[in-house]
Amino acid sequence: MHILSIPTWVIHTSSVIEWLVAIWLVRIFANLSGQSAWHTLSWGMLPALVGAMCACTWHFFDNASDLDWLVTLQAAMTLIGNCTLMMAAWWIWRSRLHPHGQ
């Protein structure tokens, strides 16, 4: 675990924790506001969380070459996450145009 400095580890782990809290807060907002379209955003955030956890796992094991597949998975989850976040934003926008179609 010596590859990254302590401050870098703090940033990595706090980013994952912040993302988890953001997902939780979006779900609370969706429930309290009655705007169910916001649930799609919380689901759309999950691939990016998986990607971040892949990066942290790879670094935790000192960037071991036998775990290089985590780098590929992290890149794929980032791509998928960007797409799911875009689709969730579209879904929320669409629900505002057609509020009875939720």
Give, for all 102 residues of the chain, the pLDDT tens digit: 567 889 999 999 999 999 999 999 999 999 999 999 999 999 999 999 999 999 999 999 999 999 999 999 999 999 999 999 999 999 999 998 877 654
d(CA 36, CA 34): 6
pTM of the model: 0.86
Number of H helices, E strands in the chain: 4, 0
The two tokens of residue 9 are 């580890």
- Plot region of 19 (φ>0 → left; ψ -120 to 50 → alpha; else → beta): alpha
Q: Which residues are CB-neighbours of 42 under 8 A, at least 6 positions away?
A: 23, 26, 27, 30
The ranges assigned to domains in the chain are 6-97
The two tokens of residue 82 are 């960007």
